[in-house]
Structures are given as structure tokens and as C-alpha cells.
Amino acid sequence: MARFSQRNVRLARQRESAAFRSVLMPLSTLLGFIGVLAMLVVYLDYQLNHRWEAEVFASAVTASALPVVLFLYRWTRGHFNRQLERP
């Protein structure tokens, strides 16, 4: 039996995939980029002033990991499955 053999499940997953692709993934990519920049700023501040902002760095690491987490979530939900291309 195919993974998306039921039409209702397939259509719901197509809508979910489209929402992730058009809204959530661009936002998470932007947040991930901001997180990487924040990590660089915290590290540069540490190198120049010898003070470590652990809370800010932890928040930046979390933000930079968000695109990877959402990609893995999409992959486990089957958003990249070829069976979703059928109407």
C-alpha cells in the first residue's frame, strides 16, 4: 500500500507542504541567517573584549538550527515524496 493512497490525506499533505515551502521555510532561513550572524558577533565581542554572552550565544545557536529542524520535520512528514505530485 502506498504512503499517500488516500486522496484526503494526500491533499492535506500537499497544502501543508505548500505552506511550509512558501511561508515557514523562508522565515526559518532568515532566522537561521540572523542566528549565524549573532554567533559571529558574540564570538567577535569575546575576542575583542574578553566577555562571553552565553545566553545570547545559546539563542543564536537555537535560531541557526531552526532551518535544519524544519527541514527534518518536512522530510519525516513526506513533503518530498513523489506521490504528493499526483492530484
pLDDT of 38 > 60? The answer is yes
Residue at 10: amino acid letter: R
**Residue 61: alpha-carbon gap to chain centroid:** 13
Cβ of 66: how many Cβ atoms within 10 Å?
17
Structural domain count of the chain: 1
pLDDT of 17 > 60? The answer is yes
pLDDT for res 52 = 93
Residue 8 within any structural domain of the chain = no
Q: Hey, what's the cell of 70? A: 524544519
The burial class, CB within 10 Å (0-12 / 13-18 / 19+), for 35 is buried
Residue 24 within any structural domain of the chain = no
Angle, helices 54-77 vs 25-49, to 10°: value is 150
- Pick the range with the lowest mean pLDDT from 1-5, 41-45, 80-84: 1-5
Residue 35 within any structural domain of the chain = yes
pLDDT of 3 > 90? The answer is no
Q: Which domain holds residue 72?
A: 31-80
Instruction: Give residue 12's pLDDT band: very low, low, confident or very high (50, 70, 90).
Output: confident
pLDDT of 82 > 90? The answer is no
Query: How many Å apart are CA 10 and CA 16, to the nearest integer?
Result: 10
